[in-house]
Structure 1
Amino acid sequence: MTDRWPAGYRLVLRKEELEVPDPRAGFLRLTEGLLDWDLHRGAGLFVRPGTPRAAPGVEMASGVGVWRVRYYAPCRVLWATEALLDDGGEPVSGQRAGFGYGTLPGHPERGEEGFYAELDEDGRLYFRVAAYSTPANRIIAAADRVNVRVQAFYTNRYFASAYRLASGS
């Protein structure tokens, strides 16, 4: 994702510091959890079984539902960045790791979303979500107020999941 957002799309830009005892270890745990879809699972979403680790071109679908009745929203990973480690195996300060994906036909939205673990120069850990979206069809557009609330609900759950991943809880 870039800082150039398409006109007419709704933006979600949120960044929070994750205060954990060891931010460097938390950065590594969070990065692994992002790339292995544990952030999504921790937010209460289902990830199709057998979905590979996030990497450019990987198609994934996250879903909601109960028992065997689920709706999956398909996406394709556009970029992914692994954690950079120094010679001692510690994460390098001043970096960002994570991935971004774009929606595919069948998703209720059209747009992109990025999930980032950030370790700043001072060794502080942050989690960031950046997204732009618009309803994919007239039915979703008619229920856009509900859709905005659902998006906010899952964004909040992503942040709670990120904290649990980073803290190791």
Structure 2
Amino acid sequence: MDLTYPEVGATRGPLPEGYQHVHAHAVIGHGRARFQEAADAVLHWGMQRGAGVLVRAGADTAAAGTEVTVGFWGLHAPCRVVYLLDEANRRGFAYGTLPGHPESGEELFAVRYDPADGSVHAEVTAFARHATWWSRLGGPVTGLAQRLITRRYLKAV
């Protein structure tokens, strides 16, 4: 199955035009140990599960190519992990939408360690647009739902 958008990997840099954009982050602690703990949680679907999202994944740990279906409020949204972040001070993954997802786009879930002050940040970056008639119809509600779930992702790790 092909991804439903052409800009695969675009959450690594400037987000593409023509989509709604999300940039959210929160300080979740301090210290290298906290960073390692949060990174492990993110790579084991911790942002999603901690936010109350149902996760059915092809692997316990996020890896490029892993297919995952996330579910909430009766919806089931198929995705595929498109890349991993595995840097000294930043870890996470991005997944992109597959056919059957009500949106089309990509979402990055990451944690970052700032060696300058020891702070650890949870980060969510995304771009998406409606892919179904009913998600377009519910535009204001889906936008509110996106903001709510993003806040929950940040608190989950």
Q: TM-score range by the shorter chain?
A: 0.7 to 0.9
- The structure where strand makes up a greater share of residues is 2
Runs of 4+ off more than 6 Å: none
Q: Secondary structure at 1:19's aligned position in 2?
A: strand
Offset, 1:127:
1.0
Gaps in structure 1 of 5+ consecutive residues = 85-94, 163-169
Gaps in structure 2 of 5+ consecutive residues = 1-10
Q: How many residues align?
A: 146
**Distance in 1 between residues matched to 2:110 and 2:125, nearest whole Å:** 8
Q: Tell me the percent identity.
A: 36
CA distances 1:138-161 after superposition (whole Å, capped 9, x unpaired) = 221111000001111100111111
Partner of 2:127: 132
Specify which of 52, 55, 60 is matched with residue 63 of structure 2. 55
**Distance in 1 between residues matched to 2:109 and 2:46, nearest whole Å:** 12
Offset, 1:73:
0.7
**Distance in 1 between residues matched to 2:58 and 2:99, nearest whole Å:** 20
CA distances 1:16-62 after superposition (whole Å, capped 9, x unpaired) = 22235xx2111111111111112211100111165431011111011
Partner of 1:157: 152
Asked if the contact 2:57/2:66 (under 8 Å) is kept, the reply is no
**Distance in 2 between residues matched to 1:153 and 1:51, nearest whole Å:** 27
Partner of 1:42: 50
Q: Which has the larger radius of gyration?
A: 1
Asked if the contact 1:31/1:83 (under 8 Å) is kept, the reply is no
Q: Secondary structure at 1:25's aligned position in 2?
A: helix
TM-score (norm 2): 0.85
**Distance in 2 between residues matched to 1:82 and 1:3, nearest whole Å:** 16
Offset, 1:83:
6.0
